[in-house]
Amino acid sequence: MQKLLAIIAILFVCTLAGKTQPPPPQPVPTPVTSLPVGIDQLTISGSGGNAVTCTTVRPWLTVKPSSPLPIIAWGNGWAGGSTAGVDVTRGYLPGLTNWSLNVNAIVIAANERSVTAAKIKACVDFLIGLGNAASGTYSGTVDATRIGYAGHSQGGGEAVQGSAVGSNTLAIKGTVAMAPYVGSWNNLALPKAPIFMLSGTADTVIVPGSWDPYWQRVKVGTVGGIKGLVLNGTHDSDAWGAYPDGTTMSIDDAARENFGRYQVVTENFWRKVLYSNTLAGSTLKTALQINPPWSVVELAEVAGSFVL
């Protein structure tokens, strides 16, 4: 379900009072298969048969872009049992596809059901190598100087870890962390670039307070960022998809849902940090002031680094 945006001024916090208003009807997203994108499966050979596979979404079918495009790297949320990693990626594909088309970026996801920052980076490194090759689908299309890291739940936590200062040498320009699993990274180094941390007020799986200590450090850091909580949002309601009773959607149903209320605001965040688009920044800021859906928003702006 397509959803609204949201944005806010310096360290602005808004808390909704009174009755909960039902969300307006949302349009059904266009099926991924009908969109003008190329979706590829890449395999990176590993020692002992431990290959890494990655799904890429590129905003062209046959005619390459006239200039190299930025990368957005994605980490899946954890999936139990024997769920195949590529199937987990499929559940997130509508949101990732909209990112690719609407931001004009190559999106690459590590096909893992228990992803790590190392696997996300392996996919990014492989894509950069394809971009540097003399020929091929991605030859000349990859801008390794503009990279975004993103993920949901476990993948969100790994994206935070992978985009921290000292974690790697990639040119990371921004991070989107949806309901990020904390693990031990609250004391991690701060991010290299602005970070957008999102969740819902009703997330009981990874409560926003679990990662708030990290956000509090970001607020007084040197790169800036945004914290945004959607009213009554659960752990999966926007990033993955949830049924009306609140239960998590199946992969097949999730594969028909984009990032909901996170979709447009994150697209504008990517336009701001990957393309230095000032209009996208101001649009994001205005959207985050709409309450509902946004119940709590804090914005840390830093001159010369992140100002909406």
Q: Is residue 67 in a domain? A: yes
| 14 inside domain | no
Range of weakest confidence among 48-57, 193-202, 205-214, 216-225: 48-57
Task: Give residue-wise pLDDT tens across range 123-164.
Answer: 999 999 999 999 999 999 999 999 999 999 999 999 999 999
Q: Which residues fall within 8 angstroms of residue 228, CB to CB, at 6 or more apart?
A: 6, 8, 196, 197, 198, 199, 265, 288, 294, 296, 297, 298
In a domain, 65, yes or no: yes
The pTM for the full model equals 0.88
- Which residues fall within 8 angstroms of residue 69, CB to CB, at 6 or more apart? 58, 59, 104, 105, 106, 141, 142, 143
Q: 101: domain CATH number?
A: 3.40.50.1820
Neighbouring CB atoms inside 10 A of 31's CB total 11
Q: Report the distance separating Cα 273 and Cα 192, nearest Å.
A: 12
Q: pLDDT (tens digit, 9 = 90+) per residue, 162-188?
A: 999 999 999 999 999 999 998 777 789
pLDDT band of 80, cuts 50, 70, 90: confident
Provide the β-strand partners of residue 142.
69
Confidence band (pLDDT; 50, 70, 90) for 24? Answer: very low
Within-domain flag for 166? yes
Query: What is the number of structural domains in the chain?
Result: 1
Whether residue 196 lies inside any domain: the answer is yes
Q: What is the extent of the structural domain holding 139?
A: 32-300
Residue 187's pLDDT is 83
Residue 12 has pLDDT above 80, yes or no: no
Asked, for residue 107, whether it belongs to a domain, the answer is: yes
CB 297 within 8 A of CB 14: yes
Give yes or no for residue 38 having a pLDDT over 80. Answer: yes
Tens-digit pLDDT profile for residues 216-241: 999 999 999 999 999 999 999 999 99
The predicted-structure confidence for 265-307, as pLDDT tens digits, reads as follows 999 999 999 999 999 999 999 999 999 999 999 999 999 999 9
What is the rounded average pLDDT for all residues in the chain?
89
- Check whether 245 has a pLDDT greater than 70: yes
Note whether residue 128 is domain-resident.
yes
